[in-house]
Amino acid sequence: MDYVGLAFLLGRILFGGYFVAAGIRHVLTERAALTGYAEMKKVFAPNIAVIGSGVLLLVGGVGIIFWIYVQTAILTLLIFLIPVSFMMHAYWGESDPNMKMGDKVNFWKNMALAGALLIFLSIL
């Protein structure tokens, strides 16, 4: 394997692994805390939303890591990132300075991740 192939493989593992780890937190390890956060943000059926979003993260992350069903994986992650960013991290409507800062960081992180997904989509 040449260095470009190795870089692509390592990049996929790191990038996809981020989403897999987040999916595991949603579905298994931090579901109660994330459900409480979703309730605070007035998400409809927060427990189901947290589990459903975890499944999206897992499916998308695994697809990126193994480079299988890549278009579906990318679209799955975009389906997660776009609405979650605007629903859960709407920093422009937050009055508490600490919450505003956290939401702003998470919103723009999600936008950067969405941008990277669009770049992946463009090279397929």
What is the model's pLDDT at position 62?
A: 98
Torsional class of 105: left (φ above 0), alpha (ψ -120 to 50), beta (otherwise): alpha
CB 90 within 8 A of CB 99: no
Q: Do residues 65 and 71 make contact, with C-beta atoms less than 8 angstroms apart?
A: no
List, for residues 78-107, the tens digit of each pLDDT value: 999 999 999 999 999 999 999 999 999 999
Residues 6+ apart with CB under 8 A from 75: none
What average pLDDT does the chain have?
Answer: 97
d(CA 24, CA 86): 22
Per-residue pLDDT, 80: 98
Q: Is 116 exposed, middle or buried (0-12, 13-18, 19+ CB in 10 A)?
A: middle
What local confidence, expressed as pLDDT, does residue 1 receive?
81
Share of the chain above pLDDT 70, in %: 100
* pTM for the full predicted model: 0.94
In which band, very low, low, confident or very high, does the pLDDT at 33 lie, cut at 50, 70 and 90?
very high
